Structure formats: structure tokens, C-alpha cells
């Protein structure tokens, strides 16, 4: 519903900062981008709307990191793996002992992760600005580059002038403000559902595992969930639990169920998602207490500040990564990362089906630099779940390890561009790839950096 329009008066606002690179969003892609840009010599500012970084892993309490391996070896390395390992070492001794050698589905301790990200960013020289929204962007006269961003926070409204921009919002908010074309959802605009994740305390892990052994149910409680749906204790929808991530023997992160019809680019939908999500979490808590031994006295200690979002905008980039690229495990001359996470598209309504498509163990596909480059803008990168892909591959590319890798490539590219005042498309790909390798990224067992005239 529209209530008409008003005209705002012309206003002069202060320039609050001038930086080389501004990163918007402090999730996995944003923190990796900011650290890599700063480590490579760029004066870097990260702007985040909350009071901490971590994205879905802290804001929405997604309980575990998705796999860093192709089931045979680690393929997401570099900054992403370094941050995960740093979180492990900041946890207690029991956690470190259990997950020391684990690289896939590592449980997230959100409070530890917040501090780890704070420390890693500040040690790299990244300036942080929390509790701040980007209100708009200022484009150059030819509309081909972003000259800066307008931010709003408790201090007021101000302008941040910058040379380069990394849109790590996950929703391509900055790219959309700059007029970049994008797709959203399927052909009908239908989006994957959200999930309200949460932490349960006062649970008994050993008793729960005995229950699984005695009943033959899986860790996803498929049989138990189906029985609860039949009994009316749970709503129709997902037939199993996506994930129980045990931070320790009495604290577990839960990813279970869906909130349908949520568009993460609309505040009204996020509001409804928060309310419905908390109601669903309470219903699930009662299910756990009644149906799952070891959870009889479970206590809900925290739910996500925001419902977890899987899918919104996907930019139109210089290349659109496709399902065929995934299935054929293709490599590209401008690869900046590898991906092996399965295509994971969640049901759009309670009667729908989920889609899973896996690559064989040991296989992965390349992620080309071009998917980070939005058409029409020369100083902007878009890493993360909004990178240029079709919907199928977005269901694979969107997870945190991949976001780390794309963020590291974006930040490194921005710092490279700064050295010669180059546009994003003029960055030397071989030089970028060489720097990524030196910074412990992995581009494939047989990968060799091509000569500049071959790229």
C-alpha cells in the first residue's frame, strides 16, 4: 500500500571519512574481503548494520560452518579456514579436543566468533563502523562507478568517499542501489524459505545419542519428526532436522524447519519472519522436550536476531555460473576459488520438495573472477550469495566457506586495482591468482598461474 510521496529538502551532509576500499556487510564474505584488502595495503573500512560481524553465523545463529572440503581434502583455505581455526582455538578445551581436526560442519560458538572477527579485523588494520546502514550511493556523472556511500547511524547522516566498493550485504543491496540488474528467486519470483535457528542449553548429549542407537533414528531425527507431524505436534513441512551442532555436551545449535514466503530484501517480511520464527522455535522446543530423550529440560537461551535468509538477489555479472558448470566440474582461466558444496534448494512451501545434487568426492568446480563483477559498474565487487549465478548454483555457492573465498578474492582484487588506479575489470587475473595462492587460497591441484597474455 502506498500513501503517496513527500519531497525531502535539499541537504548538505558532512563527509565523515575518505578510504580506499569500503566493504558493506560483516558476514563471511565481508570480513574476508576487508582483511584481504587491508593486508594488501588498502585503507579499508567495513560498515555493518549490527554491533558485531559474523552474518548468518552470529546474527541468525546458523549453528555450523558448512564443509571446507570436497570430502577428500580442504578446498576452501586462506582467510576462511584461518578464521575458523582461530575460533576453534578460542573455545574451551573440550571443544578444541573434539573439533581440532574437523573441517566440515564445525559448530559455531557465536559469542566466540564475534570476538574472533573483531580481533582479526582490527589486527589487520581494518576500520570498523557498526550500527550503521547504507542509505544510498553516489554515482559518477557517467553512472559507471561509485564515488561513495551515504550512511545513517546514531551520529546522523554522512558521506563516505571511497575509491572501491565491495558489496558483501548478501542481498546485493549496494549493487541494486547503483542500478545493477539482478534476478530474484525462480521464474515466478518464488524464494527459498528462511529458518529461525537457535541455541538450546540444559540438554544431555549422551542420553540423546543412546536414544539414536536404541531407535535406529538418524541424527536428523527423521522418524521422530515424521511421528510428531502425524501427531500434530509439529507443522507440515520439513521432515527432518537440518542440523544439530553440539558446542558442548549441554549446549546445541539447532537449524530446523522453515518460515515460508519471506523476502529478505523487505523489512515487512523480515518482521513477519522474526515473529513467526520465534513462534515456530517455541513449538519445536516443546517437540524436543516431549519426543527426544536428552532434551526433557531443554532451555531456549537465544534465537536468531533475524530469520536466516538463503536467497534474495543474484546480480547480473560478466559471467553467470550455471548448473552445467557445477555438474561438469568446470574450471575457468580466471578462477579465484573452488566449490564442492552440494546444490541445496529448500522447499518453497510446506508441500514442496527439497533438491540436493552432489559432486563425487574429490571433485569441485571453479568460481571465475567474472561472477564478482556486476555489469555496468567499474569499481564494485559482489562476493557471497548474491554473486552472478543461476538459481541452481546459488543453492551451492551461498554457504559461508564459499563466501570467505569470494570475499578474499574481492578484497585482494580491490587492493590490486588501487595500486594502479585500475578498474575492477582491468585487474591482472594472473597477478590476482598468484597473490591468492601466496595468501594460502587453493585453486586446484593442477592449477598453474597463466602468463599475463594467456589470461
Which CATH number is 414's domain given? 3.50.50.60
Element (H, E) at 357: strand 355-357
Res. 455: pLDDT tops 70: no
Tens of pLDDT, residues 169-197: 999 999 999 999 999 988 888 999 999 99
Tens of pLDDT, residues 280-323: 999 999 999 999 999 999 999 999 999 999 999 999 999 999 99
User: How far apart, in whole angstroms, are the C-alpha atoms of residue 164 and residue 381?
Assistant: 8
Note whether residue 339 is domain-resident: yes
Residues 157 and 67 in one domain: yes
Q: Name the residue among 395, 416, 325, 336 with its Cα closest to residue 79.
A: 336
Note whether residue 91 is domain-resident: yes
Residues 292 and 318 in one domain: no
Residues 33 and 171 in one domain: yes
Note whether residue 193 is domain-resident: no
Residues 213 and 116 in one domain: no
Joined together, the cell numbers standing for residue 347 give 522447499
**Parent domain of 217:** 198-303
User: How far apart, in whole angstroms, are the C-alpha atoms of residue 373 and residue 79?
Assistant: 21
pLDDT at 237: 78
Residues 368 and 443 in one domain: yes
pLDDT at 393: 94
Note whether residue 7 is domain-resident: no
pLDDT at 348: 60
Residues 235 and 292 in one domain: yes
Residues 132 and 170 in one domain: yes
pLDDT at 262: 96
Residues 105 and 205 in one domain: no
Last residue of a domain, one of 269, 303, 337: 303
Last residue of a domain, one of 245, 276, 303: 303
Tens of pLDDT, residues 51-61: 999 999 999 99
Residues 92 and 34 in one domain: yes
Note whether residue 368 is domain-resident: yes
Q: Domain tally for the chain?
A: 2
Q: H helices of 329-448, where?
A: 391-397, 400-420, 429-438
Contact 17, 163 (CB under 8 A): no
User: How far apart, in whole angstroms, are the C-alpha atoms of residue 249 and residue 98?
Assistant: 11
User: How far apart, in whole angstroms, are the C-alpha atoms of residue 83 and residue 80?
Assistant: 5
State the pLDDT confidence band at 453, using cuts at 50, 70 and 90: low
pLDDT at 353: 59
pLDDT at 345: 83
Tens of pLDDT, residues 385-430: 999 999 999 999 999 999 999 999 999 999 999 999 999 999 999 9
Note whether residue 190 is domain-resident: no
Last residue of a domain, one of 257, 284, 303: 303
pLDDT at 5: 94
Note whether residue 298 is domain-resident: yes
Please tell me the pTM assigned to this model: 0.96
Note whether residue 2 is domain-resident: no
pLDDT at 349: 60
Residues 327 and 416 in one domain: yes
Residues 143 and 112 in one domain: yes
Distances (CA, A) of 165 to 15, 372, 426, 452: 16, 12, 15, 25
Residues 427 and 382 in one domain: yes
Amino acid at each position: 500500500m502506498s500513501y503517496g510521496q513527500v519531497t525531502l529538502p535539499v541537504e548538505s551532509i558532512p563527509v565523515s571519512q575518505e578510504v580506499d576500499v569500503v566493504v558493506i556487510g560483516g558476514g563471511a564474505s565481508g570480513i574476508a574481503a576487508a582483511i584481504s584488502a587491508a593486508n594488501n595495503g588498502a585503507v579499508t573500512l567495513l560498515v555493518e548494520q549490527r554491533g558485531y560481524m559474523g552474518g548468518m553465523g552470529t546474527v541468525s545463529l546458523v549453528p555450523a560452518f558448512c564443509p571446507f572440503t570436497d570430502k577428500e581434502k580442504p578446498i576452501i583455505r586462506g582467510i576462511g579456514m584461518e578464521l575458523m581455526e582461530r575460533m576453534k582455538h578460542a573455545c574451551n578445551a573440550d571443544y578444541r579436543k573434539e573439533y581440532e581436526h574437523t573441517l566440515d560442519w564445525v559448530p559455531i560458538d557465536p559469542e566466540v566468533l564475534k570476538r574472533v572477527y573483531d580481533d582479526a579485523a582490527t589486527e589487520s588494520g581494518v576500520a570498523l563502523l557498526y550500527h550503521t546502514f547504507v542509505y544510498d550511493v553516489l554515482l559518477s556523472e557517467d553512472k559507471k562507478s561509485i564515488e561513495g556511500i551515504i550512511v545513517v547511524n546514531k551520529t546522523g547522516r554522512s558521506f563516505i568517499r571511497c575509491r572501491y566498493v565491495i558489496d558483501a550485504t548478501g542481498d546485493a543491496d549496494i549493487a541494486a542501489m547503483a542500478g545493477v540488474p539482478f534476478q530474484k528467486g525462480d521464474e515466478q519470483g518464488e524464494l527459498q524459505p528462511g529458518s529461525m535457528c537457535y541455541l538450546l542449553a540444559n540438554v544431555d548429549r549422551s542420553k540423546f545419542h543412546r536414544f539414536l542407537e536404541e531407535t535406529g533414528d538418524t541424527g536428523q531425527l527423521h522418524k521422530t519428526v515424521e511421528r510428531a507431524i502425524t501427531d500434530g505436534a509439529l507443522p507440515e513441512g520439513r521432515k527432518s532436522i537440518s542440523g544439530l551442532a553440539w558446542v558442548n555436551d549441554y549446549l546445541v545449535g539447532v537449524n530446523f524447519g522453515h518460515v515460508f514466503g519471506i523476502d529478505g530484501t523487505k523489512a515487512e517480511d523480515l518482521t513477519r519472519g522474526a515473529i513467526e520464527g520465534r513462534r515456530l522455535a517455541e513449538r519445536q522446543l516443546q517437540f524436543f522436550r516431549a519426543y527426544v530423550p536428552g532434551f526433557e529440560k531443554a532451555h531456549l537461551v537465544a534465537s536468531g536476531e533475524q530469520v536466516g535468509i538463503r536467497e534474495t538477489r543474484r546480480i547480473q555479472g560478466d559471467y553467470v555460473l550455471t548448473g552445467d558448470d557445477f555438474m561438469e566440474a568446470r574450471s575457468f582461466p580466471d578462477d579465484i576459488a573452488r566449490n564442492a558444496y552440494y546444490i541445496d534448494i529448500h522447499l518453497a512451501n510446506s508441500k514442496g520438495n527439497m533438491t540436493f545434487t552432489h559432486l563425487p568426492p574429490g571433485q569441485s568446480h571453479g568460481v571465475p573472477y567474472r561472477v564478482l563483477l556486476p555489469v555496468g559498474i567499474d569499481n564494485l565487487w559482489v562476493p557471497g550469495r548474491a554473486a552472478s549465478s543461476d538459481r541452481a548454483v546459488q543453492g551451492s555457492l551461498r554457504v559461508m566457506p564459499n563466501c570467505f573465498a569470494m570475499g578474499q578474492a574481492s578484497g585482494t582484487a580491490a587492493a590490486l586495482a588501487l595500486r594502479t588506479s585500475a578498474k575492477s575489470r582491468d585487474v591482472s587475473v594472473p597477478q590476482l591468482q598468484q597473490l591468492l595462492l601466496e595468501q594460502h587460497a587453493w585453486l586446484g591441484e593442477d592449477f598453474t598461474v597463466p602468463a599475463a597474455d594467456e589470461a
